[in-house]
């Protein structure tokens, strides 16, 4: 993937982020106000679909070869992903308070929203670890030990 394609993907990710955040907030508002069963259900499915699309773009970004994306591009995603996770959690909590998780028709999109939120949390954790200088230092130290032959094979330990 070239740099221009990666930048395009990041620009697309920004668009998807804001569309997904808007869908989550609309769904949360519909759940809070209980704007009719079908309105709530449609809002939940829309939020679920938008999260699916956003997760697909995150997967594409995560598969970009090392060095194509700079650390600043990754760091810029962290606050937005945290906001998105908070919105997912607020939506799930609001749905629990209004007992929407006990209903079979609303439980399906809420379950998908929860799962897709977990994927975002995993992606966020991976970004934070990949940018953590201590983790990078430990990786370099491990590579150095392998190059020097200063390691033990697991079978030898038993």
The Cβ of residue 142 has, within 10 Å, a number of other Cβ atoms equal to 11
**Band of residue 18 on the pLDDT scale cut at 50, 70, 90:** confident
Residues in the chain, total: 158
DSSP string, 18-87: HHHHHHHHHHHHHHHHT--HHHHHHHHHHHHHHHHHHHHHHHHHHTSPTTTS-HHHHHHHHHHHHHHHHH
- Mean pLDDT value across residues 148-157: 71
- Mean pLDDT value across residues 57-66: 81
**Band of residue 88 on the pLDDT scale cut at 50, 70, 90:** very high
- Report all structural domains of the chain as residue ranges with CATH numbers, in order of start: 3-147 (1.20.58)
CA distance 121 to 138: 23
pTM for the predicted model, two decimal places:
0.73
Place of tokens 């009719």: 36
pLDDT of residue 10: 67
**Band of residue 2 on the pLDDT scale cut at 50, 70, 90:** very low
């Amino acid at each position: 993937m070239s740099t221009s394609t990666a930048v395009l993907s990041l620009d697309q990710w920004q668009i998807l982020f804001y569309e997904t955040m808007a869908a989550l907030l609309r769904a949360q508002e519909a759940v809070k106000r209980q704007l009719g069963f079908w309105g709530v259900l449609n809002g939940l499915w829309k939020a679920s679909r938008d999260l699916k699309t956003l997760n697909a773009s995150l997967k594409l970004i995560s598969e970009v070869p090392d060095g194509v994306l700079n650390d600043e591009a990754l760091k810029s995603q962290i606050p937005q992903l945290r906001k998105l996770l908070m919105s997912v959690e607020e939506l799930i909590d609001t749905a629990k308070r209004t007992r929407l998780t006990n209903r079979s028709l609303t439980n399906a999109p809420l379950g998908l929203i929860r799962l897709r939120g977990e994927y975002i949390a995993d992606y966020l954790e991976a970004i934070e670890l990949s940018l953590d200088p201590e983790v990078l230092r430990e990786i370099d130290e491990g590579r150095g030990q392998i190059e020097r032959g200063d390691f033990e094979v697991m079978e030898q330990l038993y």
